[in-house]
Amino acid sequence: MQDIRFSIVIPAYNASKSIVTTLDCVKAQTYRNFEVIIVDDKSADAADLAQVVRSERYQELDIKLELSEVKLNGAGARNKGIELATGDFISFLDADDEWQADKLMEVHDTIARLEAQGKSRYVIFSQVNIHQDGTFLKVMPMQPPGKNETVAEYLFGCYGFIQTSTIVLKREDAAKIQFDARYIRHQDYDFCIRADRMGYEFVMIAKPLATYHLVTKFGSKHKGESVKYSYFWLDTMKPHLTARDIHTYKAFKLPLRYKMDGNSLLASVSFARYFFLTNRDNRAYFMNRLLDKVKSRFGGRSTVS
């Protein structure tokens, strides 16, 4: 197939330090046909970011730097990046995440395979290495969405995970879907759920092609993960969710928010009320994890990774 040009869209907020590692991984890509679009979200360190981006270190990269004069938040910054893009495909990358050197090459080969099969409407994502507070934690996800589950069920349940820095899709499709600027959290959930509802196929590359840095030192309210925000998000997303999608969120995601807000009782109540209304795969996965924890105390064998 024709030589694909990628537009790597990087939203940045106070990222003048972290973006060095991110741009280094872009510079190391084995597939070379790409442009880089960085949208700074009215950061305090915008001048420092510009100095890093325009340094000799990255002269070989085709970089467009947009310094926004208004606050866009992550969703708006990504939308601006989509607007400025000229490539065939959009590949999202956060300013504190990293890619493996073969990321774009793996995606290129996957696109070639899908197009050869006559497919044209798809969203590609991959497994990701998750690091928590600087230490490797695990690889996620361990499986793609099931044939009979929505992307929402997959994301809200026990085993699903689509990290923004792994998402790739055609530029015109990204422009149709766009991110919802109302959301300070769960923008990636919203983007993927609406893409699923619009009929896009989700294709997982079963290889960790990105590293996601999870920081836990901030409280839930700092990160927009409070119970109040979760209910706001869930309520505004109702037109795009099935009843079982909502049950799955309330069984698995909402209890975590209650715990972050210091309310373990309501966390338990929410889980107990909705667990048996989720799909069979999520229930089975959860029960197997529970059995693993019990067996581990007696030297038993694990049933899930």
pLDDT at 305: 54
Please tell me whether residues 166 and 30 are part of one structural domain: yes
Do the beta carbons of residue 122 and residue 202 sit within 8 Å?
Answer: yes
Last residue of a domain, one of 166, 193, 214: 214
What value does the mean pLDDT take over residues 95-119?
98
**257 and 142 within one domain:** no
Is the pLDDT assigned to residue 35 strictly greater than 50? yes
Q: Are residues 42 and 190 in the same domain?
A: yes
Which domain range does residue 237 map to?
A: 227-296
Domain boundary pick from 161, 189, 214:
214
In a shared domain, residues 246 and 179: no
Q: Which residue has the higher pLDDT, 298 or 31?
A: 31
Does the residue 268 lie in any domain?
yes
Task: Supply the CATH number for residue 124's domain.
Answer: 3.90.550.10
Helix (H, G, I), strand (E, B) or coil at 266: helix
Q: What is the overall mean pLDDT for the chain?
A: 94
Tell which of 151, 181, 214 closes a domain: 214
Interacting residues of 117 by C-beta distance below 8 A, sequence separation 6+: none
If one counts the domains in the chain, the total is: 2
**220 belongs to a structural domain:** no
- Is 80 exceeded by the pLDDT of residue 300? no
* Chain-centroid distance, C-alpha 143: 15
The answer to whether residue 1 sits within a structural domain is: no
Is residue 305 domain-resident?
Answer: no
The winner for highest mean pLDDT among 49-53, 214-218, 259-263 is 49-53
**pLDDT number for residue 220:** 42
Using CA atoms, how far apart are residues 262 and 251, in angstroms rounded to an integer?
17
pLDDT band at 217 (very low <50, low <70, confident <90, very high): low
Q: Are residue 249 and residue 163 in the same domain, yes or no?
A: no
231 and 210 share a domain? no
Q: Which of 40-49, 218-227, 284-293 has the lowest mean pLDDT?
A: 218-227
**Alpha helices, DSSP H, located in the chain:** 19-27, 46-53, 73-84, 103-116, 151-156, 171-177, 187-197, 227-237, 243-248, 254-260, 264-274, 280-296
Place of tokens 């049950």: 247
Per-residue pLDDT at 191:
99
Separation of alpha carbons 230 and 222, rounded Å: 13
pLDDT band at 221; cut points 50, 70, 90 = very low
> What number is the average pLDDT over the span 292-301?
78
Backbone dihedral region for residue 39 (phi beyond 0: left; psi -120 to 50: alpha; all else: beta): beta
pLDDT at residue number 304: 58
Nearest C-alpha neighbor of 52 from the set 143, 161, 123, 61 = 61
Q: Do 179 and 34 lie in a common domain? A: yes
Residue 225 confidence class, pLDDT cut points 50, 70, 90:
confident
Lowest mean pLDDT, pick from 28-42, 102-116, 174-188, 291-305: 291-305
- The whole-number pLDDT of residue 115 equals 97
Residue 136: pLDDT over 90? yes
Domain assignment present for 152: yes
Residue 293 has pLDDT above 90, yes or no: no
Q: List the structure tokens of 35.
A: 């442009």
